[in-house]
Amino acid sequence: MKTPQQPHILLIDKDTAQIQLIETALRSSGYQVILAQTQAQLMDELANQPIDIILLNCTIDSIPYLEWCQFIGQSPQTANIPLILLVTAKDITALIQGIKSGAVGYLFHPLQLDSLRTCVTAHLSLRTPVSSKHQELERKALLHLLCHDLTTPLSAVVSLLSMSPSADMLMRMQSVLLESAQSGLELIDIVRGIRELQEKQLCLSPVCLLDTLNASLLTQKNYLIQKNITVNIDIPAYFTVLVEPYSFSQQVLTTLLNNAIKFSYPNSYIQIQAFDLDEKFIILNIKDYGIGMSEKLCPQLFDLNKTTARMGAAGEPAGSGYRLALVSRLMLAYQGSIHVQSKVNTQQDETGGTTVSLRLQKVVI
């Protein structure tokens, strides 16, 4: 995890020699350099730790710099991160377009390392603490949820009851009223969970991954039977991870399992596998072969400013679409991360579906 003494600088580049040059210069000044070559990699790094500054090399043909500038400037996760362009003196077009898209500074090639360090240091000094700015954005997003998204379910309830319905009509409307109330309660639960994460630190402790997963699966037993879905598990019994036990079981695993079932076709199966990533982390994969989604939708799953609500494979209600936002923040609190890969699957076969990967801290017993 990032410490205040070691700001993280993310470099978007594919030039190996350039990367090494920048890394050497910035690491000697106490910064850590992270590389990203795709937008998905950028979002993965943001899920792992805050990024303090983004450097975009506009001289490499394989880097579509204008598309990158627009993506960084428009994405809620990156819009407030200073973007510095690395351009050639002849490429004024790249410079103008980059500044219009939100870049706050630029440096010309060939890079002068002292100028690079000075530029980075200056923009870091102008920033408010990442955690404070991040929390302010979170608060605004949560307020939006309460003021905007609660309006729909509550309005439905008020509208139905204002009609002075008869007992018979109330019986027919019961499912609509219940769905509206559940949607409102889900939003309140998500907001409460995220606010608690902002206000207090979780107490992490070792848990057996297999036992915790089986306990979460029990809560989904009826749903699995209803859709006739089989779950195949390949997790060593000795795998132990460092998490907050209740939230990991009841919010993280339960949410991911429920989603996997919801978006799976009836009479299919879900594959759950865990393996060692390295000496510090374990990877837990939950793979379904359901309806899947486009790659562009994946980064939005954790964004409170965008709803990704979708109906299930068997017509299940869409839900709020914000539950994964809480899951991603819990994973950060565990000092882990979450990543989603998906492919639209209209053939109801094994060519598509969704894989959710959790990177969890390993505990050696």
DSSP letters of 249-316?
A: IIIIIHHHHHHHHHTSPTT-EEEEEEEE-SSSEEEEEEEE-SS---TTTGGGGG-TTS------TT--
Share the mean pLDDT of the chain.
79
User: Is residue 253 pLDDT above 60, yes or no?
Assistant: yes
Give the span between the Cα atoms of 54 and 71, in whole angstroms.
12
Residue written as token pair 């699957």: 345
User: Is residue 236 pLDDT above 60, yes or no?
Assistant: yes
**Top-confidence range, 131-145, 194-208, 290-304:** 290-304
Q: Please, which pLDDT band fits residue 329 given cuts at 50, 70 and 90?
A: confident
| Tokens representing residue 139 in the block | 């608060």
pLDDT at position 2, please? 38
User: Are 100 and 85 within 8 A, CB to CB?
Assistant: no
pLDDT at position 130, please? 46
Strands 105-109 and 83-88: parallel
Q: Please, which pLDDT band fits residue 138 given cuts at 50, 70 and 90?
A: low
| Tokens representing residue 359 in the block | 């990177």
Global pTM reads: 0.56
Question: 173-182, 251-260, 266-275 — which is least confidently predicted?
Answer: 173-182
Give the span between the Cα atoms of 213 and 219, in whole angstroms.
10
Q: Which residue has the higher pLDDT, 58 or 63?
A: 58
Give the span between the Cα atoms of 43 and 323, in whole angstroms.
18
| Tokens representing residue 306 in the block | 């965008």
pLDDT at position 217, please? 93
pLDDT at position 4, please? 43
Predicted confidence (pLDDT) per residue in 262-277, tens digit: 999 999 999 999 999 8
